[in-house]
Structure 1
Amino acid sequence: MSLHIPPVHVPPDGGEPVYLVGDTYTTLLKATHTNGELSLVEAIMPADAGPPPHTHHGESETFIVMDGQLVITAGDEKYEVEAGGVVYVPKGVRHSFRNLSRTKPARIYFLYTPGGMDAMFTEIGTPGVRGQVGPSLNEVDVKAMAAVADKYGFTFD
C-alpha cells in the first residue's frame, strides 16, 4: 500500500518563520508535508554567530549554504563552505557551525532526514519575519532548547 503525498509549493514569502537563539528559522517543508521523509528549514544567522557543538541522534542534517560563508565542524573534519556549497552530516556525528562574516548574516537551508526536527523550531521559537535577522541570543531560548532536547533527540556536547 502506498500513501499519496500531494506536492507542496512554498512561495518566496511563505513558510513559518520564528526567532530562536538569535537566528531566524523558517520552516519550508514540515515532516507532516512529506510523510516524515524530510524537513527543510531556512536559517538566517547573524554575523559571527552559531550554535555550540551538538549531535542529532535521530536524523541526518544537510547544510546548503545559500548566502555567506560558514565554517562547519563535523566529527574531526572542518569545512569552510561558501554560497553554493553543501555539507552532509550523518546522524550521530557531533557538529557545529559558525558564520565567518563579522558584518553580514548568512542564509542556510537545513535538510533533515528523516523529518521532524522542524517541529522544534515552531514549538519553542517566537513568531518572526522570514529573511530578517532576529533579536539577539537570549538565555530563555537556550533554556527552551535544552528543555526539548530529549523530545527531539539531540544533545549538546
Structure 2
Amino acid sequence: MSPDKQSVQVIVPDAGKAVSMMGDSYRIVISGAATQNEFAVIDMLVPPGGGPNPHAHKDIHESFYVMEGEVEFMTENGPVLAGAGTTVLIPKGGAVHNFKNKSDKLARLWCTVVPAGLDQFFEEVGTPGTFGTFLPPAPLTGEDISRLEHIAAKYGQEIYPPDYWEKKK
C-alpha cells in the first residue's frame, strides 16, 4: 500500500466513545483522529427537553440529519421544526444556533463536523459513559461556566447563555 493511502475502516454498530453532555447522550462514531482532523461524525440521542444551549463556531461546517423524532432548531432566521429525514446545515461563519427536543419522544441526530474538533470538545467536557444512558445535567456554577467557555474557545466554539434568544427579541 502506498504511503498516501489509508486503510478502509469499518465501524460496527455502537462502536465509538460515548459521552453525556448536558443531559444528552453522544457517541463519537468517527473521530477526528481517524480522519486526520478533516471531519468527525457524532451520533446524538436527545431526550425530551434536551439539546445544547446557543453556540457558534466560525470555522466549522456542521450538519445534522434527524434520524428519529423531531427537534426545533433555532438560528438568527427563527425556529425551524426538523423531523425525521430532515437535514440542517450550519455553514462556516459563526451563525449562532442550537436545537431542543420539544416533543415527548427521544430524538436521534447524525451530526457531521468539518473540520473535526467538536468531537474532542465533547470528550473533554462530557462525562464518559454508555451510549443511551442519560445523566441529568448538573447545575453550572460561575466557575463551571468559565471553565466551559475556556475549553470551548480552545476548540473554536463560542457559548451563549440559555436565554440568548429571548434577549435578542
TM-score by length of 1: 0.88
Say whether residues 1:154 and 2:157 are aligned partners: yes
1:79-118 residue pairs with structure 2 within 5 A? 79-91=80-92, 92-101=94-103, 103-118=104-119
- Greater strand percent: which structure? 1
State the Cα distance separating 1:84 from its structure 2 match: 1.2
Aligned to 2:167: none
Q: Which runs of 4+ in 1 moved over 4 A?
A: none
TM superposition shift of 1:146: 2.5
Give percent identity, aligned residues only.
30
Cα distance, 1:140 vs structure 2:
5.1
State TM-score, norm by structure 2. Answer: 0.83
For 2:148 and 2:25, how far apart are their aligned partners in 1? 15
Aligned position for 1:137? 137
Gaps of 5+ in 1: none
Structure 2 CA distance for aligned equivalents of residues 106 and 133 of structure 1: 14
C-alpha distance in 1, partners of 2:66/2:55?
19
Partners of 2:102 and 2:8 in 1: CA distance: 36
Rg (Cα) greater in structure: 2
Report the equivalent of 1:37. 38
Structure ranking higher on relative contact order (CA contacts 8 Å, 6+ apart): 1
SS in 2 for 1:139: coil
Match of 2:18 in 1: 17
* Superposition CA RMSD, Å: 2.1
Provide the rounded CA distance (Å) in 2 between the counterparts of 1:8 and 1:72: 32
